Amino acid sequence: MDVLTGSSVVCEVRVKASPETIFPFLVDADLSARWFGRSASIDPRPGGAYRTEISDQIVAAGEIVEIDRPRRVVLTFGWEGNEAVPPGSSRVEITLEPDGDETLVRLLHDGLPDGEAQQHGEGWDHFLPRLAIAATAGAVVTPKLKTRHS
């Protein structure tokens, strides 16, 4: 396991769907674009690249590190054109833990430079509820969101 330095963010949301239902939204480009950005390209295998356009000026990019269907995805993460957090400079791990008829989605974003955790936590606080909505076919949900910054 790589030891990363810097700050980290942990966000959790409960989704009224199974891990099998949610997982494709993490690795399929069309489904990913429904909650994280407006378009995406994803090569869903270890070593595969991904790129997600959030807007004309904001593009997330990195590489898939690990896929454990339907429980876990690990990827490198960063922003094109961003010196503080360039593509591949930090690490995001998303785990899906079944809990009755819900799934606990836990996102750990670590290796962030000092001073970046707050902003990235706010970003994940925006996007994780969108995952909950997309994975439940747009049903009205009130995600229970919990975030911790360090």
Q: What is the pLDDT of residues 94-117, one digit of tens each?
A: 999 999 999 999 999 999 998 899
- Using alpha carbons, select from 140, 138, 136, 75 the residue that is nearest to residue 109: 75
Q: Would you place residue 3 in the very low, low, confident or very high pLDDT band (cuts 50, 70, 90)?
A: very low
What is the pTM (predicted TM-score) of this model? 0.87
Cα distances (angstroms) measured from residue 115 to each of 11, 84, 124: 17, 10, 16
Structural domains present in the chain: 7-149 (3.30.530.20)
Query: Does the CA dihedral 25-31-34-36 come out positive or negative?
Result: positive
Residue pLDDT, tens place only, 61-80: 999 999 999 999 999 999 99
CA 110 – CA 13 distance, rounded (Å):
18
Residue 134 and residue 13 in contact, taking contact as beta carbons nearer than 8 Å: no
- Using alpha carbons, select from 99, 98, 105 the residue that is nearest to residue 128: 105
Query: Does the CA dihedral 136-63-61-115 come out positive or negative?
Result: positive
Residue 134 and residue 35 in contact, taking contact as beta carbons nearer than 8 Å: yes
